[in-house]
Amino acid sequence: MITVTEEAVKSWMHNVIKREQYEKFMEGGKDFINDEEIWEKLKENSKPEPSKVRDIIAKALSLERLEPDETATLLNVEDKELWQEIFEAAGKIKEKVYGKRIVTFAPLYVSNYCVNDCEYCGYRISNKHIKRKQLTEEELKAEVEALVKQGHKRLIMVYGEHPSSDARFIAKTLEITYGIKIEGGEIRRVNVNAAPMSIEDLELLRDIGIGTYQVFQETYHHETYKRLHKGIKADYHWRLYSLHRAMEAGVDDVAIGALFGLYDWRFEVMGLLYHAIDLEKRFGGVGPHTISFPRLEPAVGTPFYEKNKKYIVSDEDFMKLVAVIRLSVPYTGMILTAREPKEVREKVLPLGVTQLDFGTNIGVGAYSKGAYSPEKQQFLINDERSLDEGIRWLAEKGLITSFCTAGYRCGRTGNYFMDIAKKGKVHKLCMPNAILTFKEYLLDYASEETRKVGEKLIEKELESLDPKIKGIIQDYLKRIEKGERDLYV
Ligand code: SF4
């Protein structure tokens, strides 16, 4: 139990926001989301001609990022056949940029204390049905060890906004996590989902080796945002420009997202696009490393979901929005989480997804105890497959699970990563390393059944490599079989 006096919380909250760190990005006091303009674009581009839609699909297939009018046009498509063409293009773009690789990760919730009162969230301060918990050092180690033993190499660590989980606390938890090694297993990349921070705090996390820094705007619609958020989070701009500050602080990879179900899904897709464009404009063409598109889920003690069905996104519309994001920002990674049930992940995976979580358990402290604890969760999850089951499922589809983090350690982040992603070269550089890390997983953690499917897939993928690289990889695979680990090219 964390004990921070009400006075201390208030005084901390008072000092978090530094207006001068976002006002400088605003033009004439305005941010880059113009609600009226978005609605106008959606209206102006309604009932598009098929030829216009096909021209836009062709542009996206050439890996060019779309302009707002073009995305608005796609969002207005009604014809089923044209949607089918958009879906197919989404899959092709993903394969062109990222190849037959899928990155997997696990979310690790570190603390569910939060000073904010977001109406839809199980962690909101007014929710008396949630059990508050922040991991101690020992508990964090136990969680990380449990994840490493499953075979995970990448985490996204999640923290509520609270003085007890400030930047120094987050830095400490990253340090502890990176320091854990068990029988050759370790976490090699820690991404962070945490509240917006100041440039100084972000510099601290940069120095400790933060992976991608993820802040979702939740909704880009100003009025809806204002209505749903209380506490520090009520400041729309502090949040909207959080990733601008991160880039300024030298955090190379930043991730955007919207919580679909709070407002009109077409509007939110436009908001994500404008966000990507503004980041590109200000930071030498570097846009979001990933985009997330979670759908609103029920949470313990949180009636919001039941009472607000107006903007709930159907499965059909969900497929559309994922595909349009894929076409709009071809270079970005796209994350589809275990919030979605297996059947939905099955349908949405071919629409451009690059990252999935498996073996997910989001109650704070739940991995080490193997416990399901909805009263410690921010929301409920719907795909409870283990990492092994997930990897087998992907392998049966011909997809290699990549645990590779070599790219980051070789400096393939920020500008450099963006450049190779925009030229569609990620898969060329990353597939050999994906095969190597996949092999490690198969040897160290996989079930017999998964190993069989995986080994077959490796054989097949080796054939598609350049002959020179193929020789090197075959040699490395032998070394891995003999016990070497963490080999990369
Ligand atoms: S959405 Fe985030 S900021 Fe809002 S109450 Fe939940 S944990 Fe706190």
Instruction: State in Å: Cα 363 to ligand 1 middle.
Output: 15
Q: Which residue segments constitute the domains of the chain, with CATH numbers given?
A: 6-27+93-419 (3.20.20.70)
* Mean per-residue pLDDT, 48-57: 98
Which amino acid residue places its CA nearest to atom 4 of ligand 1?
118
Return the pLDDT at 426. 67
Cα separation values, 15 from 11, 160, 241, 248, Å: 7, 17, 17, 20
Q: What is the DSSP string of 74-86?
A: HHT---HHHHHHH
CA of 304 to the centre of ligand 1 (A): 14
Give dist(CA 373, CA 362) in Å, integer.
8
Q: What is the pLDDT of residue 50?
A: 98
Residues 6+ apart with CB under 8 A from 8: 163
Task: Measure the CA–CA gap between 135 and 368, rounded to whole angstroms.
Answer: 11
3-state secondary structure of 405: coil
Q: What's the pLDDT score for residue 137?
A: 97
Cβ of 123 below 6 Å from ligand 1: yes
User: What average pLDDT does the segment 297-302 reach?
Assistant: 91
Q: Which of 95-99, 196-200, 288-292, 343-347 has the lowest mean pLDDT?
A: 95-99
Q: What is the rounded distance in angstroms from the CA atom of residue 76 to the CA atom of residue 479? A: 53
pLDDT at site 411? 60
Question: Does residue 61 have a pLDDT over 80?
Answer: yes
What are the contacts of 414-417 at 24+ separation with CB within 8 A? 414/252, 414/253, 414/286, 415/252, 415/284, 415/285, 415/286, 417/252, 417/253, 417/289
Q: What is the pLDDT of residues 426-437, one digit of tens each?
A: 667 788 889 999
Q: Mean pLDDT lowest for which of 132-146, 241-255, 463-477?
A: 463-477
Atom 5 of ligand 1, nearest CA residue = 124
* Residues pairing with 109 in the sheet: 158
pLDDT band at 370 (very low <50, low <70, confident <90, very high): confident
Task: Look at 3 and 223; give whichever has higher pLDDT.
Answer: 223
pLDDT tens for 463-487 read 988 888 899 999 999 999 999 888 8
Q: Which of 94, 55, 481 is nearest to 291 (CA)?
A: 94
For residues 289 and 257, what is the distance between their CA atoms, to the nearest angstrom?
Answer: 11
| Residue 345: per-residue pLDDT | 98
Which pLDDT belongs to residue 348? 98
**Continuous H helices in 383-463:** 387-396, 406-409, 414-422, 426-444, 448-463
Is the model more confident about 256 or about 380?
256
pLDDT value of position 404: 78
Cα 383 from Cα 213, distance rounded (Å) = 24
Residue 231 is predicted with a pLDDT of 93
What is the structure's pLDDT at 35?
98
Residue with tokens 């597939």: 431
The string over 27-44, giving b where at least 16 C-beta atoms fall within 10 Å of a residue's C-beta and e elsewhere, is eeeebbbeeeebbebbee
- Indicate whether 395 pLDDT > 70: yes
Mean pLDDT computed over 125-148: 95
Q: How far is the CA of 117 from the centre of ligand 1 (A)?
A: 7
Paired tokens of 275: 């966000």
Asked if residue 114 has its Cβ within 6 Å of ligand 1, the reply is yes
- Each residue of 403-427: pLDDT tens digit? 877 655 566 666 766 777 777 766 6
154 lines ligand 1 (CB under 6 A): no
Task: Report the predicted TM-score, pTM, of the whole model to 2 decimal places.
Answer: 0.95
16 lines ligand 1 (CB under 6 A): no
pLDDT at residue 70, rounded to an integer: 98
* 124 has pLDDT over 90: yes
The share of the chain scoring above pLDDT 90, in percent, equals 84
Largest CA-CA distance found in the chain, in angstroms, rounded: 66
